[in-house]
Amino acid sequence: MQFVDLHLSEPILRALAAQGYANATPIQAQAIPHVLEGRDVLGCAQTGTGKTAAFALPILHRLSADSPPAGSARRVRCLVLCPTRELASQIGNSFRTYGRELGLLYAVIFGGVNQNPQVQALNKGVDVVVATPGRLLDLMNQGHVKLDGVRTLVLDESDRMLDMGFINDIRKIAAKLPTNRQTLLFSATMAPEIQKLAESILRNPIRVHVAPVSSTADRIEESVYRVEKHNKPALLAHLVEHLPMSRAIVFTRTKHGADRVVRHLHGYGIRAEAIHGNKSQNARRRALASFSSNKIPVLVATDIASRGIDIDGVTHVVNYDLTHEPESYVHRIGRTARAGASGSAVSFCDHDEVANLKAIEKLLRRTIPVKTDGPTFAQRPMPAPAYPPTARSKPAPTHRPAKPPAHAKQNDHNGRHGKPRIGGGARPRKFASNTGRPANQRRRSRDR
């Protein structure tokens, strides 16, 4: 179905055409007509299916058709709640992009930054507020937000908000809204908690169900490399350089792990930045802006950002660490193959992650193909050693090497060209004496 068939206003259709969008996705084709009619909607759809436009487009249409008289004070007429800062920013940008010709005003509210600019925007008057529950509730308690004029409430990524403990905040916010309103609830899963929440705040909703969480997009080519943990940095660098990965998101299990991956990539001369909870909001914005503008080809993220990154043109998703939550795997790889494009999802599985891989395959109800086209160390079946012993190799001595003299300290953990050695970890030099001459000098040629 095309957008012109959905009876959206001409300014919105022009904005869509400017972005190159002509055909509606299944969630958009199903949800938009009901939202235009003012019905409550309960939507089950994973990220990457186009659900932001599924609620933003009809909301913009209705707001523009009932704009307040010129010069009158603006009141918040639409409130969108979502779990993360990144997702709030993305949704706010979508509203601005699709409604750029409508003359509406928007505010994006989230924590981790100075609240004064947000308060100033609210005081000037806005039509649409996109917010995370915690910061919005803080501003409400301070008297900076009035929601008595809200006509449409949207709960996006509701399952994620419940996982993050926002359920009580959501109920407190909903209690301050007019009862005679339209409510749209979207979730990737329909767990009992979601059903209970929907029953308490929705009125006779229309149910829209597409792309269940156990499925992945047909346009995503999935694969897995069986590789030892210490060889993951070298394998990632190899893939970035040889596939090539023009725009890739790499997911790690921890924040410190994300920073380590960035350092490894920098060592290989590959531009990359990390985005996670320990980064300041400005740093996260800069990283996303650099990634979306192709200034950097690789963005390294933790799971907290897996649903907050909504950028078209991602060619690859790399599961550097396999998540222990199978559903998160689906959300991660949903960052690619968006807006009708195709993409690839590559996973690294070390010996300790085999159980995670099996759990993911159980959820998907199929086996992820194993790749054997990587470097030698990524082709061997697990748990074979990454570097099998050879006649020329010798076991490393167990004694502590002598401390090198001052003039030899320039030999750091990296190779002669400043790049980390294949295998990711640093290999200390073994000095035979205090002369400063490395005893393993003959082995250098094999490491280049």
Q: How far apart are CA 243 and CA 316, in angstroms?
A: 10
Classified as helix, coil or strand, 249 is strand
Instruction: Kindly report, residue by residue over 179-209, the tens digit of the pLDDT.
Output: 999 999 998 878 788 889 999 999 999 999 8
| C-beta of residue 51 within 8 angstroms of C-beta of residue 41 | no
More confident residue, 15 or 376: 15
pLDDT at 233: 95
pLDDT at 392: 37
Classified as helix, coil or strand, 2 is strand
Token pair belonging to 227:
């590789």
User: What would the mean pLDDT of 100-104 be, rounded to a whole number?
Assistant: 93
Q: How far apart are CA 286 and CA 447, in angstroms?
A: 36
Q: How far apart are CA 23 and CA 25, in angstroms?
A: 7
Q: How far apart are CA 440 and CA 422, in angstroms?
A: 16
pLDDT at 308: 59
| 14, pLDDT greater than 60 | yes
Q: Read out DSSP for 148-193?
A: TT--EEEE-SHHHHHHTT-HHHHHHHHHTS-SSSEEEEEES---HH
Instruction: Kindly report, residue by residue over 44-101, the tens digit of the pLDDT.
Output: 887 667 889 999 999 999 999 887 666 677 899 999 999 988 889 889 999 999 999 9
Q: Report the candidate in 160, 108, 127 with the shortest Cα–Cα distance to residue 60.
A: 127
User: What would the mean pLDDT of 250-257 be, rounded to a whole number?
Assistant: 93
Those residues with Cβ within 8 angstroms of residue 18's Cβ, 6 or more apart along the chain or in another chain: none
To the nearest whole number, what is the mean pLDDT of the chain? 82
- Which of 121-125, 296-300, 374-378 has the weakest average pLDDT? 374-378
Confidence of residue 150 (pLDDT cuts 50, 70, 90): very high
pLDDT at 306: 56
Classified as helix, coil or strand, 202 is coil
pLDDT at 339: 64
Give whichever of 50-64, 297-311, 388-402 has the largest mean pLDDT.
50-64
Q: How far is CA 207 from CA 191, 254, 299, 379, in A?
A: 15, 36, 35, 47
Please calculate the CA angle 46-48-50 and round it to the nearest 5 degrees. Answer: 95
Angle subtended by helix axes 281-292 and 85-98, to nearest 10: 50
pLDDT at 211: 56
Give whichever of 153-167, 253-267, 378-392 has the largest mean pLDDT.
253-267
Q: Report the candidate in 222, 229, 224 with the shortest Cα–Cα distance to residue 261.
A: 229
349 Cα distance to chain centroid: 20
pLDDT at 190: 80
Token pair belonging to 273:
């930045």
User: What would the mean pLDDT of 317-329 be, rounded to a whole number?
Assistant: 89
| C-beta of residue 119 within 8 angstroms of C-beta of residue 143 | no
Q: How far apart are CA 172 and CA 268, in angstroms?
A: 50
User: What would the mean pLDDT of 161-189 be, rounded to a whole number?
Assistant: 91
| 210, pLDDT greater than 60 | yes
Q: Report DSSP state, residue 264.
A: H
CA dihedral (121, 126, 131, 137) positive or negative? positive
User: What would the mean pLDDT of 414-439 be, rounded to a whole number?
Assistant: 44
User: Structural domains in the chain?
Assistant: 3-209 (3.40.50.300), 220-378 (3.40.50.300), 399-443 (no CATH)
| 304, pLDDT greater than 90 | no
| 218, pLDDT greater than 80 | no
User: What would the mean pLDDT of 9-19 be, rounded to a whole number?
Assistant: 93
- Which of 199-208, 316-325, 417-426 has the weakest average pLDDT? 417-426
Confidence of residue 365 (pLDDT cuts 50, 70, 90): confident
pLDDT at 212: 52
Give the helix, strand, coil percentages of the chain, each rounded to 5.
40, 15, 45
pLDDT at 407: 47
pLDDT at 48: 66
Share of the chain above pLDDT 70, in %: 79
Strand partners for 196: none
Q: How far is CA 373 from CA 22, 163, 250, 386, in A?
A: 38, 38, 20, 15
Q: Report the candidate in 170, 176, 98, 88 with the shortest Cα–Cα distance to residue 134.
A: 170
| C-beta of residue 419 within 8 angstroms of C-beta of residue 268 | yes
Confidence of residue 224 (pLDDT cuts 50, 70, 90): very high
| C-beta of residue 315 within 8 angstroms of C-beta of residue 344 | yes
Token pair belonging to 201:
């705040």
Question: Three-state secondary structure along 357-413?
Answer: HHHHHHHHCCCCCECCCCCHHHCCCCCCCCCCCCCCCCCCCCCCCCCCCHHHCCCCC
| C-beta of residue 188 within 8 angstroms of C-beta of residue 156 | no
pLDDT at 84: 86
CA gyration radius, the chain: 26
Phi and psi dihedrals of 162, rounded to 5?
-65, -40
Question: For the chain, how long is the longest CA-to-CA vector?
Answer: 87
| 422, pLDDT greater than 90 | no
User: What would the mean pLDDT of 388-416 be, rounded to a whole number?
Assistant: 43
